[in-house]
Each structure stands twice: as structure tokens, then as C-alpha cells.
């Protein structure tokens, strides 16, 4: 029997919106904070909550490799502001201690988002990757999975052997990328020594334009990259970055990892970068103004012969750091008299508690956002009826939460005129129709559905709404796709498409 390979498991998963408030340990506990052996249990349980990459990694390693996981720490929060530095420092110390706890490590798997900020570190992901490399030395395989919104830094690139980014947006392949990470790890344990090359383009695209379905430029370039994967090329990862992190290193980044020959990685990265740049004009938004959206909602609510519509509010996307509680759309739809509508999910823990105290079937004067002070999270008062009360926990059936346990915290449904609103306590985006059916509502039968999400909802509603029946509303918010309106401090300018005059010259062949 060969000695089992000892592989350290760790990760930090935070997509930081620099304009959102600081997040701390409670926000990580809310989504997932696992120490040591807790990671093993979470990765191997049915209907997991932990990051899909870890589950995929464990599955393949368990099946194909004699190995001993050395689980250290995994911390994931819903997209938010920067991580509080003391908590991040605590995570770093935990990682350092775990990596140095004794016993030689044969490899490290890092399950990372890649678009994090801490309050005093503008590259916490790079800090973690460097720490790992320093602890294990140059010869031990270090493999990371990343969200495709990662803002890849030199430190991240220089400290890993392979970086594997998601290929899908909505992200429905995090598990598969964990599988791929395990396959690369097994290859490296058998002696492979891959080499990577990376090119950044001055393209910072609004996230609504970064879908990977047919017909979208980002999907096209990702597919073009995947066609190169084969005996010479181990991985192609095209990370679009996350504009709202407001970083100098923002921008579409093409990273190619060759099995042996770095020149092949460089050539492939260059070809893809040129193709991506030549296609840049297609990264344009298709938002519909609030007034026009309201009229569309009213029209389908009044005329049942028209197909029902799904409206999304990308400017208040909790999946990008939005607070999930702006009332622009709700107020406009209520005042216009839109009926037969479901609206989800609205983040307001105070309102949920008031609903619980009021009781099922009873009316009360609700104030949305009584506790929030964000400039976009304006209060809104209305007379409502408590339609449903729930612990807010279910296993999803559709899209990104299929097979996963979802925790919304204590939740309720409030009826306001002809609109039923799902209110939650743990801020997150509405990822699928499960977020309605759990409460006895259904987007399939509602005339009008409104979701607070930028694009991940699409995977969880695609069986009900083809793209032409989805309306992206242009309302104010922390995650508005109108990037030109934000007070950027660090984003490199000029940058496409904000600055149409942006130039780029390919590196020499």
C-alpha cells in the first residue's frame, strides 16, 4: 500500500463590493465557517451547504487517490463589503498553524472566490496563496479553484500551479471545477509540473453582460478557450473580474496552464486575448427603465393572454454585495397597482420578527428598512397581511441550489395589494423558484415575478422563463450595471466599455 498523500484543504470565499459595508465573523458564520474536521463532514454530506468545489474535490480524491485530507479552515460569506482585518488575520493565523502543524504535506487545494478585499489588505486572496506557497515550498502542488469573477493578482498566479475558474455564469459548475482540481492534483502527484501564462485586458464589463449562455460574448470566448484544452493545455480560465471591488488589477484575465511547455500557454493566452478584445463591442447592457418596466408589469398583470414575465433588479443584487432591500421596484409596482405578482427575496430581519409577533393572517403597518441606513435602502411604509411564516430552510431543486441546503433564516410572506413578498433574515439573492415554492408561491402561475438578483437566478428559472421573457430593470443601487455612475478610486482608466476610446496592444508573439 502506498502512503496516503496528505492534502491540505482551505479556502476563503468572499466577493467584495468596495461600496458595501464591512463584514465580519457573523457574516461568515451565516454562510459557512468550518474548522478542521468539520470540513470533511460538510464536504461528504448529502445536500451540502459548503462550497461545491470542496465537495467535487473530495468525491474524486476519495474515489481515485489514496489520500488523507488535512482540513484546516474554510470561510465563506455572501458577497459583501471588505472583510474586517482582525477576522481575516485570524483566518490567516489558522491557515499558517494548520499548514505547519507537523507532517509533510503532499499538496494543497484552495477553494477560493478570488474577488476578496479585507479592510487593510487589497489582495487577501493573494496573501493566502503566498502564505500557502511559503509554507509548503516550491515543489508541492498548490491548486486553487476560483469564481469567474475573481480579480486575479500576480501573487495568486505566482503562488499556484493551477488556477481553475468556473466556466458558467450563472455558476452551475463549482462542483465540476472541484472535480477538475482533484484530477489536476492526481496528475501532479504523479509528477506533472504545469506552467501558466496570463494576460489581462482593459475590459471591465457590467456583470449582466457576462452570461455564458449561447449568444453572449463571454460564453463564446470561454468556449473558444475550452476547445484548446487537450494533451498540451491542461486548463484555460477566463476570469472577468468583479468591477465593484474597485481594484487597479480589475479586468478580463486569460490564464492558460500548459502541461509542460510554457510557450504553448503564452501563445494560447495571446490568441484568446486578441479574440476577446476584437469582440469587446458586444459587452453592452440591455436594461429597461423603471417606468417602462412598471408599464410592462401592469400590462401582463391585466392581460392574462400575454405570457407572464420575470423582472430582475440587478442593481440590488445581494450576490454582488447589494443589501437586498431597496424599495424602488416594489414601490413603483405597488403604486401602479400591479397585481398577481410575487416578489423575492427582500432582506429585512426586523420586518420578519414583526410579522412573527403579529401572527399569521393578521394585518399590520409595515415599515420596510426601519433599521437600514444605506443611501439606497430607503424606508417604505404600507399596510400588509402576514401570509406565511417559516424557518426559511429547504433543499433546492433548481439552478445553483439544486440538491443544496438553503438557509434564509426566519422568513415570512407579506401580502401587499396584489403582490406577495418573501421577506428573509439572512441576506442573499433569489436563486430559483424554490425561494417561492417553499412558501406556497409559484413564479409559474404568477403574472409578474420580481427577483433581487443580477443573473444567477436564470439557472433556477430557465424552465419557466426563456430569456426573452426576462426584463432587467434599471433602478438605483449598490450593484447597478451602469458602472459609469460609481465614484471609482482605483479602477484603471480608460477601461472598456466605460471609456470607448480604450486601447490595447497585444504582447509580442
Q: Where does this chain bind Zn ion (CB under 5 A)?
A: 147, 149
Helical residues (DSSP H) of 74-173, grouped into ranges: 85-99, 124-136, 154-159
Is the CB of 131 or the CB of 152 nearer to Zn ion?
A: 152
Q: Which long-range contacts (CB under 8 A, 24 or more apart) does 402-407 make?
A: 402/432, 403/46, 403/47, 404/47, 404/48, 404/49, 404/52, 405/47, 405/48, 405/49, 406/431, 406/434, 406/435, 407/49
Is the CB of 149 or the CB of 266 nearer to Zn ion?
A: 149
Cell of 54: 470542496
Helical residues (DSSP H) of 169-317, grouped into ranges: 174-189, 217-226, 262-278, 290-302
Is the CB of 171 or the CB of 323 nearer to Zn ion?
A: 171
3-state secondary structure at position 500: coil
Listed residue (20, 95, 5) closest to 321, CA to CA? 20
Task: Give the residue closest to Zn ion by C-beta.
Answer: 149
Is the CB of 245 or the CB of 411 nearer to Zn ion?
A: 245
Helix (H), strand (E) at residue 9: strand 5-13
Residues 6+ apart with CB under 8 A from 423: 345, 346, 347, 348, 351, 352, 355, 411, 412, 413, 414
Is the CB of 48 or the CB of 320 nearer to Zn ion?
A: 320
Is the CB of 149 or the CB of 420 nearer to Zn ion?
A: 149
Please report how close the Cβ of residue 45 comes to Zn ion at its closest, in angstroms: 24
Q: Are the C-beta atoms of residues 21 and 85 closer than 8 Å to each other?
A: no
Is the CB of 149 or the CB of 195 nearer to Zn ion?
A: 149
Please report how close the Cβ of residue 170 comes to Zn ion at its closest, in angstroms: 9
Please report how close the Cβ of residue 459 comes to Zn ion at its closest, in angstroms: 12
Distance, CA of 299 to CA of 338 (rounded, Å): 9
Q: Are the C-beta atoms of residues 224 and 275 closer than 8 Å to each other?
A: yes
Is the CB of 369 or the CB of 453 nearer to Zn ion?
A: 453
Q: Are the C-beta atoms of residues 217 and 201 closer than 8 Å to each other?
A: no
467 phi and psi angles, rounded to 5 deg: -50, -35
Is the CB of 106 or the CB of 147 nearer to Zn ion?
A: 147
Q: Count the neighbouring beta carbons within 10 Å of the beta carbon of residue 431.
A: 26
Please report how close the Cβ of residue 171 comes to Zn ion at its closest, in angstroms: 6
Please report how close the Cβ of residue 148 comes to Zn ion at its closest, in angstroms: 6
Q: Are the C-beta atoms of residues 142 and 107 closer than 8 Å to each other?
A: yes
Please report how close the Cβ of residue 262 comes to Zn ion at its closest, in angstroms: 28
Please report how close the Cβ of residue 412 comes to Zn ion at its closest, in angstroms: 29
Q: In terms of residues, how long is the chain?
A: 509
Please report how close the Cβ of residue 315 comes to Zn ion at its closest, in angstroms: 17
Q: Are the C-beta atoms of residues 200 and 253 closer than 8 Å to each other?
A: yes
118 phi and psi angles, rounded to 5 deg: -115, 165
Please report how close the Cβ of residue 80 comes to Zn ion at its closest, in angstroms: 13
Is the CB of 67 or the CB of 244 nearer to Zn ion?
A: 244
Is the CB of 113 or the CB of 259 nearer to Zn ion?
A: 113
Residues 6+ apart with CB under 8 A from 303: none
Distance, CA of 225 to CA of 222 (rounded, Å): 5
Listed residue (44, 140, 131) closest to 94, CA to CA? 131
Amino acid at each position: 500500500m502506498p502512503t496516503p498523500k496528505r492534502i491540505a484543504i482551505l479556502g476563503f470565499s468572499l466577493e467584495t463590493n468596495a461600496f458595501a459595508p464591512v463584514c465580519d465573523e457573523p457574516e461568515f458564520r451565516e454562510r459557512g465557517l468550518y474548522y478542521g474536521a468539520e470540513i470533511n463532514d460538510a464536504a461528504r454530506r448529502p445536500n451540502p451547504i459548503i462550497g461545491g468545489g470542496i465537495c467535487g474535490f473530495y468525491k474524486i480524491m476519495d474515489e481515485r487517490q489514496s489520500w488523507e485530507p488535512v482540513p484546516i479552515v474554510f470561510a465563506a460569506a455572501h458577497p459583501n463589503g471588505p472583510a474586517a482585518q482582525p477576522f481575516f488575520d485570524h483566518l490567516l493565523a489558522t491557515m499558517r498553524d494548520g499548514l505547519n502543524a507537523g507532517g509533510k504535506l503532499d499538496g494543497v487545494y484552495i477553494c477560493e472566490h478570488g474577488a476578496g478585499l479585507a479592510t487593510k489588505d487589497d489582495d487577501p486572496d493573494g496573501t493566502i496563496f503566498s502564505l500557502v506557497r511559503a509554507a509548503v515550498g516550491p515543489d508541492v502542488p498548490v491548486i486553487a479553484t476560483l469564481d469567474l469573477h475573481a480579480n486575479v493578482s500576480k501573487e495568486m498566479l505566482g503562488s499556484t500551479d493551477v488556477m481553475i475558474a468556473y466556466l458558467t455564469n450563472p455558476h452551475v459548475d463549482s462542483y465540476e471545477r472541484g472535480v477538475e482540481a482533484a484530477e489536476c492534483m492526481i496528475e501532479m502527484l504523479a509528477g506533472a509540473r504545469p506552467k501558466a501564462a496570463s494576460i489581462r485586458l482593459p475590459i471591465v464589463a457590467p456583470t449582466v453582460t457576462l452570461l455564458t449562455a449561447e449568444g453572449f460574448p463571454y460564453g463564446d470566448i470561454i468556449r473558444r478557450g475550452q476547445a484548446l484544452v487537450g494533451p498540451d493545455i491542461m486548463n484555460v480560465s477566463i476570469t472577468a473580474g468583479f468591477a465593484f471591488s474597485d481594484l487597479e488589477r480589475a479586468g478580463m484575465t486569460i490564464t492558460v496552464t500548459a502541461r509542460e511547455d510554457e510557450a504553448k500557454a503564452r501563445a494560447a493566452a495571446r490568441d484568446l486575448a486578441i479574440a476577446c478584445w476584437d469582440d469587446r463591442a458586444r459587452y453592452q447592457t440591455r436594461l429597461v427603465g423603471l417606468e417602462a418596466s412598471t408599464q410592462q408589469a401592469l400590462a401582463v398583470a391585466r392581460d392574462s393572454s400575454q405570457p407572464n414575465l420575470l423582472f430582475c433588479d440587478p442593481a440590488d443584487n445581494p450576490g454582488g454585495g447589494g443589501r437586498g432591500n431597496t424599495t424602488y421596484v416594489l414601490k413603483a409596482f405597488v403604486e401602479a397597482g400591479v397585481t398577481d405578482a410575487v416578489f423575492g427575496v427582500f432582506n429585512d430581519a426586523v420586518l420578519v420578527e414583526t410579522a412573527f409577533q403579529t401572527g399569521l393572517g393578521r394585518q399590520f403597518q409595515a415599515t420596510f428598512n426601519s433599521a437600514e441606513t444605506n443611501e439606497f435602502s430607503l424606508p417604505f411604509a404600507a399596510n400588509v397581511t402576514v401570509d406565511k411564516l417559516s424557518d426559511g430552510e429547504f433543499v433546492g431543486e433548481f439552478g445553483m441550489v439544486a440538491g443544496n441546503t438553503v438557509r434564509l433564516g426566519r422568513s415570512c410572506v407579506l401580502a401587499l395589494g396584489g403582490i406577495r413578498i418573501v421577506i428573509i433574515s439572512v441576506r442573499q439573492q433569489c436563486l430559483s423558484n424554490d425561494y417561492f415554492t417553499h412558501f406556497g408561491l409559484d413564479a409559474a402561475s404568477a403574472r409578474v415575478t420580481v427577483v433581487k438578483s443580477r443573473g444567477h437566478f436564470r439557472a433556477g428559472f430557465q424552465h419557466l422563463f426563456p430569456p426573452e421573457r426576462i426584463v432587467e430593470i434599471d433602478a438605483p443601487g449598490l450593484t447597478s450595471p451602469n458602472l459609469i455612475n460609481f465614484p471609482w478610486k482605483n479602477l484603471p482608466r480608460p477601461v472598456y466599455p466605460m471609456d470607448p476610446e480604450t486601447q490595447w496592444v497585444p504582447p509580442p508573439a
